[in-house]
């Protein structure tokens, strides 16, 4: 007697894909816009400050009690913050991709200030966040939102 195989077909779809891609794109766009917002936020010029991301990004540490705090000597123009932008998520093959970047035409020094592998020691000392550190700090919350969208679409 020959072996017979039959496909196991679910009675209803496992995932309701109607509108799923647009919801996932929206979540990815939120992640990208939050990352750019944090990248545009400059750290405090106080030497004792620590990097702060997320909701508390504007609550920088002020002068510690009993300590002398020096301000850095450079003037901030906002050019680096204006160089950051993002492109909404698009489908490329089987992936959704949103792009985040800093224009080298606007701020050619951007890789020395906020790009992880090429950030200078001086910028690290001044607590400038890197693109990678901000992505890592924001991703857990964004991942939870993405998973919530996927779980909600289960049939």
Return the pLDDT at 14: 72
Return the pLDDT at 19: 86
40-80 residue pLDDT tens: 998 877 654 455 455 555 544 454 455 555 555 667 888 99
Question: Would you say residue 91 lies in a domain?
Answer: yes
Number of domains present in the structure of the chain: 1
Question: Would you say residue 10 lies in a domain?
Answer: no
The 10 Å Cβ neighbour count of residue 56 is: 8
Question: Would you say residue 25 lies in a domain?
Answer: yes
Extract the tokens encoding 95: 């992936």
Question: Would you say residue 105 lies in a domain?
Answer: yes
DSSP track, 29-80: HHHHHHHHHHHHSPPPSBTT-----GGGTT----PPTT---PBPSPPP-SHH
Return the pLDDT at 145: 96
Percentage of the chain exceeding pLDDT 70:
79
Polymer length of the chain? 155
54 contacts 70 by C-beta, under 8 angstroms: no
Question: Would you say residue 11 lies in a domain?
Answer: no
In terms of residue numbers, what domain contains 45? 20-152
Extract the tokens encoding 118: 């090429």
34: helix, strand or coil: helix
With a cut of 70, list the residues of the chain below it in pLDDT: 1, 46-74, 155
Question: Would you say residue 68 lies in a domain?
Answer: yes
By C-alpha distance, which of 37, 39, 131, 29 is closest to 87? Answer: 29
DSSP track, 74-124: PPP-SHHHHHEEEEEEEEETTEEEEEEEE-TTT-TTHHHHT-GGG--HHHH
Question: Would you say residue 147 lies in a domain?
Answer: yes
C-alpha to C-alpha distance for 32 and 37, rounded to whole angstroms: 9
């Amino acid at each position: 007697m020959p072996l017979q195989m039959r496909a196991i077909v679910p009675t209803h779809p496992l995932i309701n894909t109607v509108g799923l891609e647009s919801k996932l794109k929206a979540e990815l766009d939120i992640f990208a816009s939050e990352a750019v917002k944090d990248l545009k936020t400059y750290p405090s010029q106080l030497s004792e400050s620590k990097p702060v991301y997320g909701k508390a990004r504007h609550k920088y540490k002020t002068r510690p009690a009993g300590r002398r705090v020096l301000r850095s000597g450079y003037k901030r123009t906002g050019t680096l913050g204006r160089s950051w932008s993002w492109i909404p998520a698009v489908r490329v093959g089987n992936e959704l991709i949103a792009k985040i970047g800093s224009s080298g035409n606007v701020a050619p020094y951007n890789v020395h200030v906020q790009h992880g592998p090429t950030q200078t020691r001086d910028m690290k000392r001044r607590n400038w966040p890197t693109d990678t550190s901000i992505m890592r700090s924001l991703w857990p919350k964004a991942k939870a939102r993405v998973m919530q969208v996927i779980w909600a679409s289960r049939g």
